[in-house]
Amino acid sequence: MNGVQEQGLQAFVALARAQASTDQPAALYQALDKVLAQAIGHTLFTILRYDDATNESARIYSNMPAAYPTAAKKPLSGGNWTDIVLTRGETFIGKTPDDLRAVFADHELIASLGCESVLNVPVRWKGRTLASLNLLHTRAWYRDDHVPIAQSLAQYALPTLLDEA
């Protein structure tokens, strides 16, 4: 087994162990944070849960709680991003500050953290988006080849999302 294969195996072992932990959902969200940082990279990582019945979202995890605390529900704004990620269940990549400005009202706060690109990955169950994993990093960081890795890792959040439903 080469180094890349070994690293991949270690990531899946870490996620499986985190899922087995009694400290849920914190253990799993922290493991996802670490594995995604190693496999793809990010500066800011958050998880947003969506409630399609009320058209609201709530941040349930943040690796930067001072800037992006977990919070009460807030209404979704709609638009192209909502259609792509929430309705169609597709991954969204924004590569520049202009891309972020077009879809995020808090683009100035994002930029102040040194983040200029985004990878939003839906977590899906039975054709519905329950949440999104949101990775933000430096300009043009995220590429199309990150998508299948991020989609596969995002699904590890599913048990905690179903448990909280």
pLDDT of residue 12: 86
Distances (CA, A) of 136 to 16, 21, 23, 109: 25, 27, 26, 12
The domain defined by 43-143 folds into: Beta-Lactamase (3.30.450)
- Residue 128 pLDDT > 70, yes or no? yes
Query: What's the pLDDT at 5?
Result: 65
- Tokens 């009320």, located at residue: 54
For 131-158, write each residue's pLDDT tens digit.
999 999 999 999 999 999 999 999 999 9
- The answer to whether the pTM exceeds 0.85 is yes
Contacts of 93 (CB under 8 A, 6+ apart): 117, 118, 119, 142, 143, 144, 146, 147
pLDDT of 71: 81
pLDDT tens column, 82-123: 999 999 999 999 999 999 999 998 999 999 999 999 999 999
pLDDT band at 31 (very low <50, low <70, confident <90, very high): very high
* Residue spans in the chain of domains classed CATH 3.30.450.40: 43-143
Q: Which residues contact 31 (CB under 8 A, 6 or more apart)?
A: 14, 15, 17, 18, 156
